[in-house]
Amino acid sequence: MEYLPDGVTKHFFDHANDDQIVYYPSHFFHGKVEQMTHVISVIAEADKHELKDIDPKKIAARIHSRKEYKEKRMKKEMDGKMTRTLGLY
């Protein structure tokens, strides 16, 4: 389970250095994908503009650093070994 209350992501980008932004804990993420059979995501943002003042390059670097994780999840889903549910709140 992952839980990111409003403000946590902005706080991270405001205070993280470049190494922290691109850090990729491969054993953690790969183990997570290995264990997953279903993912339930609930999107419940109170402040949709929370990251408006964050440098887009920082956000892009963070997203790029997670590319391998997303590809592994997508492959597992496409292989029929994982499903997901998305809900808006």
For the stretch 22-41, pLDDT in tens is 999 999 999 999 999 999 99
For every residue of 39-66, which 3-state class applies, written as one string? EEEEECCCCCCCCCCCCHHHHHHHHHHC
The pLDDT, as a whole number, for residue 45 is 85
35, HSE (Cβ side, Cα atoms, 13 Å): 7
CA-to-CA distance for 4 and 38, rounded, in angstroms?
Answer: 19
In a domain, 24, yes or no: yes
CA-to-CA distance for 48 and 23, rounded, in angstroms?
Answer: 25
Residue 83 sits in which domain range?
A: 8-88
In a domain, 16, yes or no: yes
Domain count for the chain: 1
| 1 has pLDDT over 80 | no
In a domain, 55, yes or no: yes
pTM: 0.85
In a domain, 13, yes or no: yes
Q: Can you name the residues that pair with 86 across neighbouring β-strands? A: 41
CA-to-CA distance for 89 and 84, rounded, in angstroms?
Answer: 16
- Residues 39-52: pLDDT tens digits? 999 988 889 999 99
In a domain, 3, yes or no: no
